[in-house]
Amino acid sequence: MLSQEEVDALVNAKGKPAAEETDKLAKSKGESASSEVSEVALDLFQLLENKLGETIALLTSVPAQTIKERVFLEPASSMGEYRLVISLANTDDGMDVLIYLEEAAARSVLSQIAVKPEDADVFSDTNMDALGRIIEALSVEFSTAVSFLSQKHLDLAVALPKGPSSLQDFLDLTKEYLILEYLLIWDKVEVGKLGFIVEDSSFEKLFSEKDKKDDSPVSLDSLIESMNKQEDGDILSRFSEDLEVEETAEVVVKPVQFGQLNPKTTRDSLQKDSNLDIILDLPVSLTVELGRTHKTLKEILELKPGSIVELERLAGEPVDVLANGVFVAKGEVVVIDETFGVKITEIASKEQRINRIK
């Protein structure tokens, strides 16, 4: 339940700029919303909160949620020797973005998505490739949000993580960094933190050149709504290549002119007019199918020399004859000298062929 002071603050916040409302919200939740943090950084912090959890849940099929923890500026020289799972991403203009997960959070995610969960080293190369796909999706959410706020297209090239590393190995000790940190709720359990670290001067430079044609204040809610409208709702489609659609000339549509049908056309005349001879030399693969069966992937992997596979066809039952994979006849298996052959016993009707296709 909100205190009276919080209620009064919410009431008084109506009509104030979005960044100020975000700052008050952050402080009411105990988050670090330093006055040194820019308004656009606070907007980005807000935009990413729900997106990150939704992306992780979509890719892992496990309920996930991200909650804003804190956004702050800190010199690299004052950061501790943290051990994190870190992936380095960078833009074409040289801006570096660190995407990180606390070791506990990474272990929790890997416990569900690991390609080889039996590995003694959960941070093996194979498992880190699987985690890397999630980190790459998070980088897409980050670049999409930054592109929306800066009105510039931003692409991030992401390197795969290599397991827990020292944060100091990725930082320039002479610079100050902007940190956006979120709490990860994984399968309804708090498992640790994840976030983004970017050098503050590079981040602010993106927005210093922003087109300022419209200086009117925009609420944060309208930013989120506009961003949602721009997305197609499918995270997986963001990994496909961008297609450039060229403008085409105006298309002139005309009705189709069909020839007059002659009801007296005979079968002989159709055969005469058709150029059937042209395709008579085309090669056709003839296959005799002894039978089929269905197995699970586990049963397939357990096959070994000497294993017996039972087919869904009775002994002595006619076999199927297929032409280029299409059922055309039934027959009996015969032996000619030392070679197997098939004696055709029935030619498939048109209805039988259609039914097999269905």
Question: Which tens digit of pLDDT belongs to each residue from 226-258?
Answer: 555 555 454 445 444 444 444 444 556 666 665
Tell me what percent of the residues of the chain surpass a pLDDT of 70: 68
Degrees to nearest 5, angle at CA 19 with 215 and 226: 65
Domains 13-209 and 284-357 share a fold: no
Q: What burial class does residue 194 get, using C-beta atoms within 10 Å of its C-beta: 0-12 exposed, 13-18 middle, 19+ buried?
A: buried
For the chain, the structural domain boundaries read 13-209, 284-357
- Residues 313 and 331: their CA atoms lie apart, in Å, by 14
The secondary structure of 51-115 as a DSSP string is HHHHHHHHHHSS-EEEEEEEEEEEEGGG----EEEEEEEE-TTS-EEEEEEEHHHHHHHHHHH-S
Q: What is the pLDDT of residues 283-299, one digit of tens each?
A: 888 888 888 888 888 88
Mean of the per-residue pLDDT values of the chain: 76
């919080």: which residue's tokens? Answer: 6
Task: Report angle CA 184, 190, 192 to the nearest 5 degrees.
Answer: 55
Sort 306 into a burial class: Cβ within 10 Å, 0-12 / 13-18 / 19+: exposed
Per-residue pLDDT at 220: 55
Fold for the domain defined by 284-357: Surface presentation of antigens (SPOA) (2.30.330)
More confident call, 214 vs 250: 250
Give the pLDDT confidence score for residue 197 in this predicted structure: 94
Q: Is 178 exposed, middle or buried (0-12, 13-18, 19+ CB in 10 A)?
A: buried
Please name the fold of domain 13-209.
Chemotaxis protein chec (3.40.1550)
Q: Are strands 83-90 and 176-186 parallel, antiparallel or unpaired?
A: unpaired
Using CA atoms, how far apart are residues 134 and 136, in angstroms rounded to an integer?
Answer: 5
- What's the pLDDT band for 7 if we cut at 50, 70, 90? very low
Query: Quick one: average pLDDT of 120-133?
Result: 83
Cα atoms in the 13 Å half-sphere on the side-chain side of 84: 23
pLDDT digits (tens, 9 = 90+) for 67-113: 999 999 999 988 888 889 999 988 877 789 999 999 999 988 888 87
Polymer length in residues for the chain: 358
CA distance 179 to 68: 12
CA distances from 251 to 245, 247, 254 (A): 16, 12, 10
pLDDT tens across 10-60, in order? Answer: 445 444 443 444 444 444 333 444 448 889 999 999 999 999 999 999 888
Which range in 59-73, 81-95, 208-222, 341-355 is most confidently predicted, on average pLDDT? 59-73
pTM beyond cutoff 0.85: no
